[in-house]
Chain A
């Protein structure tokens, strides 16, 4: 009883029904190599998830008001960069941006604290699961592409590749444990809502597609490739990335989750001589191309075409491309992460004519594939992006699929 005369259960039910914030961090899945977290470390991520949702839902919408009432009047804009340069001078845009940048830095700080303080233990836990396993193929002599070495993407110090000790996985564990905060819980229990969305999209749109060998390019810690591996348990999956910490952690994480059909390979995906022509039935990239470069993208597309078997499919999942139909204000807002969250290529990648580049790489125009997906999560616990009418300009868990089927059988 709470003094109201009604049973307490009714009060609890009303609380739950009225609540529209992110779930508590403790719903995040703890696989075998997930970092240990104290009560306060968990609450730090809870706070940051709330900050991101607050900024997206309560603070950012007024940027549009500021633009319409005091930035745009009397101005003629012909491209998104002019809009952004005008927005930059607006005090409300400045306020929102400063809050958003700080929230990202705090998210990185929180995750680094968690993972650096247990850096050696994490390396040992991963080694226990991966030592001698042929499904971890590292190349200590790999030369980092400039698009990785030039800047720490999304303000993650050390990026995907820096090693803080032998067998290090700290930044992979940081990335993994903090995704919940960055996305406000939109990616689900194992932060794999994107991968699950791809698996569901393929099941619905290509029901006869039965790939035997699948290549995931720019896999990171493998969170988006595991749902694909689970959807095709008999397929042989190869996941490639330049970051050794990501790959070590990825294999250990996959094994602890009972996924045994993925091999993690350290390589630059622009050239994969490890694999023969026509080796794969499916090549996948999920939120990867925006962290590359024009020249590497063209090589990646060509390499993809070479690696696909006749009839094979390539799918690239990204936020929607800028097009004349997209308002310049929206384009400018979507560019925020490019200039203020250390994703410089984001702005360039999203103006590229991907269709033309796919054709240039050897795919026929008729074979091009276009679609749209939203994160697939356990809706009883996590927010569903498909039912979210809000807009988070580049961060919403709603993506475009651009792909092609290679000519042949």
Chain B
């Protein structure tokens, strides 16, 4: 008696479960399955700042798209590479196993060169938010960049210096062990010579962890440079500004987009950066920019840098291209790759984002957009 009641009960429960399950599947088929976008970047390690920013920015875009769609339109899986080439390739393999259709990344240049060699052979479409070296895209039709290339930035900088007469005698301090820094510096010097600007001094250093820049600063001072171009990251730059002040040297400082973030360094004396000019793709004063900054600050408790904005734009660009090319969850990564390449390089494909309006891409993967120049006035960056 008891046993049969139990059996009946089990049957009933199972039947109900079946109905529920059927109902769920029936309901789910109304919405298309999500497109799988994989991401790679350093979430830990020495360059974690960039990876975390690109991850957070992209996550905001994914959440916005899913919210607007009313269902999960994009499934996003971001893997940590610690800024290491080998780990990035491992992360890429993990994402392949997961069933990734499109790759968003990688964040830093070295790992990106390593991973894009693989994606090129395996045919995955790849859009990097921040790996800016031409090596990333060279000879690979499937890799595109959201940030402007290093030479592009150097040329813009030289033009800006010429137009605004920032200095008569110009010095450059750059990290010649770093592709990003060297790339900008060389293009800057070449363009400056073209424009007949006078470069009086070129100084180098070897690692972003170097702390003593007295030799480089003394050399610039001795050469009488009234403007120093710093196509370097903000960590060494903060040391340079401090040490120049210590010896009473105050030229006009002009930096690349690596300078973005100097004001957010914990404990940094913002007086040192007063008057510093730098290039950035991200206009925080635009309407969309203000909204993004507000949202980011609310979610992550810190001010987003340009990498976060680049990441945000990447996801929207991929999403927009997927829709234009009719890429769905069923599209294989090979087909998605070809379709997206065609879309990205087609003439009528343009993306409006935080980091530029009407961004288009050339067949070699470079984005067309102009950097903004901002100056630090009273401890905040102001668009010039």
Verify that A and B bind, or say they do not. no
B residues touching A (Cβ–Cβ < 8 Å)? none
- Please list the residues of chain A having a beta carbon within 8 angstroms of any beta carbon in chain B: none
